[in-house]
Amino acid sequence: MSQRILLVRLGSMGDIVHALPVAATLRAASPDARLDWLVEARWQELLEGNPDISNVIPVDTFAWRRGLLRPGTWAGASELVRGLRGIGYDVALDLQGLYKSALLARLSGARERLGFEKRFLKESGAARFYTRRVEPPEKSHVVEMNLALAQAAGAKPWRLRFPLPAQAQDDAGVAALLQKNQVREFFVLSPGGGWGSKCWPVERYAQLHNALARQRGWRSVANAGPGEEHLVSQLLVQARVTPPVHFPLRLGQLVALVRRARLLVSGDTGPLHLAAALGTPCVGLYGPTDPARNGPYGPGRAVVVHHREEGRSSYKHEDKPSPAMLAITVDEVLAAVERCLEPAGG
């Protein structure tokens, strides 16, 4: 095994969660290795305290594109490249498959650069920056695709570990917010999805909230990602039974909230994958993305609702919910919740 390893997975939340077993597998295979992770600064909190990672290297490629090289651990692009090259990485693994991630792997100066074969990349031209291209198993989950890169680097067997931050101050902050809002047992609803085509209609989330509040007596906590606050506002207006609560959270606090939740319901988005990795029961609502590839993965009990007959997975970024999302009924989701919450072996 190489002793100086760079992982490149810049974002986003769910994708970083799905890459965590790569670091765990590499660490198990080479306990003394230097194992660094290059990540967008806004997501670095997800990696804080991770026992499998030697160093988290934050970058801000969005600022670079705007021509604003902000200071930080690596102050600007040229400083970043000099810092990476000075380490002398033996191997870099590009887990993202974009031009920017592949180029960063190349600029790191790593002697060997592993990435996926062209047909598995989001941007096929990124493959030109690799010294070795890996073909993952057909029709595999993205976690298993990522682990194929770790295996190509000489690490096996797989370690399906998902270390996520567990800071005492984050848990205490969430506990205080829940107490302030008189919330004891609760479930989390996350109506966003990044793209409109992955979103389930807000009015159906409100109906789901009403039914679960009546049946279980639990409160709901509504979660919103950046730019999705309007969805939560609509949910708060339309929910009629024991109104939901919402409070802004940092990433570490979101992890603490989901860890405490009795259940999470969401489309294919970061909080769903957090829940599965943390062991929190979750129901995933799927439309344009394929749950076989992008479904919840981890120790948590997960149930997926997906109308495959409404069309093949397209991964199209559209503004409105896809037909497959619109085909999901509130009753179907309630039935999925029941299956998710039934006792193990029941």
Percent helix, strand, coil in the chain (nearest 5)? 45, 15, 40
Against a cut of 0.85, is the pTM above it? yes
**DSSP H or E stretch at residue 93:** strand 91-94
Cα 309 to the chain's mean position, in Å? Answer: 26
Structural domains in the chain?
4-152 (3.40.50.2000), 168-341 (3.40.50.2000)
Cα separation, 210 vs 238, whole angstroms: 9
> Residue-wise pLDDT tens for the chain (346 aa)?
569 999 999 999 999 999 999 999 999 999 999 999 999 999 999 999 999 999 999 998 876 665 554 544 445 678 889 999 999 999 999 999 999 999 999 999 999 999 999 999 999 999 999 999 999 998 899 999 999 999 999 998 999 999 999 999 999 999 999 999 999 999 999 999 877 899 999 999 999 999 999 999 999 999 988 888 889 999 999 998 998 999 999 999 999 999 999 999 999 999 999 999 999 999 999 999 999 999 999 998 999 999 987 656 656 677 788 999 999 999 999 999 999 998 765 5
Helix (H, G, I), strand (E, B) or coil at 346: coil
